[in-house]
């Protein structure tokens, strides 16, 4: 599907490098600040833009069931082999529509979007937030990270103001319960001034 998803530009060509970088970072290091928002296992978690499958695998090891969405064939094929688990269902789908996921008629405790949101333009983000809210159980959470800084060559990214994302979420019935900004874990990104915003929203 990746050829049809504008936000995945550059990912298939650089899949091997991205997998190597992703697998070097642990779930705990990346998500410790919102770990308290994860429900006790077993829960049903939607991992949108699953990439190498690192996060989906970690969540499955915790005892959660995961629907892992990844539209880039090269990434999805890797993660479904490297991180094979009966608790993970790998899905070829993408924001803003998530048509395949919506056809499953599931309600999720958590939706995770790690390094995904900035690939969507303004209209796509509006539609995507509505879809995410509709897929959550009451009391469920959206956990996302947003990249700020220079756009890598060949990628489709937008500068997304954190306050705009908070307002959009509120318009879709999602209350912000956590927001913070930190430097990139990767030294090369830090040297370029890349920062990451962490936002967590709770469905009312």
- DSSP letter string, 56-122: HHHHHHTT-EEEEE---HHHHHHHHHHT--TTEEEE---TTT-HHHHHTT--EEEEEEES-GGGS-H
Mean pLDDT by runs of 10 across the 204 residues of the chain is 53 60 76 95 96 92 97 83 90 96 98 96 98 98 95 87 98 98 69 86 96
Q: Which uninterrupted H or E stretch holds 156?
A: none
CA dihedral for 116, 8, 108, 28, sign (positive or negative): negative
Longest dimension (CA), the chain: 44
The domain in which residue 31 lies consists of 2-203
Total of domains in the chain: 1
CB atoms within 10 A of CB 116: 22
Nearest to 77 by CA among 144, 24, 16, 7: 16
CA proximity to 1, closest of 96, 49, 72: 72
CATH number, domain of 39, equals 3.40.50.150
DSSP annotation of 150: P
What distance in Å separates the CA atoms of residue 156 and residue 40, rounded to the nearest whole number? 36
DSSP state of 34: G
**Which tokens in the block code for residue 122?**
């303004």
pLDDT of residue 10: 46
In degrees, rounded to 5, the angle at the alpha carbon of residue 182 between the alpha carbons of residues 153 and 156 is 20
């Amino acid at each position: 599907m990746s050829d049809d998803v504008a936000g995945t530009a550059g990912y298939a060509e650089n899949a091997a490098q991205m997998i190597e970088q992703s697998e070097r970072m642990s779930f705990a290091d990346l998500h410790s600040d919102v770990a308290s928002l994860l429900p006790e296992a077993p829960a049903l978690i939607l991992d949108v833009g699953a990439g190498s499958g690192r996060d989906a695998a970690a969540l499955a090891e915790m005892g959660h069931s995961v629907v892992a969405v990844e539209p880039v064939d090269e990434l999805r094929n890797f993660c479904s082999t490297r991180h094979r688990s009966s608790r993970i269902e790998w899905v070829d789908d993408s924001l803003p529509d998530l048509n395949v996921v919506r056809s499953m008629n599931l309600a999720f405790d958590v939706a995770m979007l790690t390094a995904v949101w900035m690939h969507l333009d303004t209209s796509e983000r509006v539609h995507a937030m509505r879809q995410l809210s509709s897929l959550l159980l009451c009391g469920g959470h959206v956990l996302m990270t947003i990249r700020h800084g220079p756009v890598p060559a060949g990628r489709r990214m937008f500068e997304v103001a954190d306050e705009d994302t908070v307002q959009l979420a509120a318009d879709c019935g999602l209350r912000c319960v956590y927001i913070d900004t930190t430097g990139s874990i990767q030294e090369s990104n830090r040297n370029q001034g890349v920062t990451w915003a962490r936002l967590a929203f709770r469905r009312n």
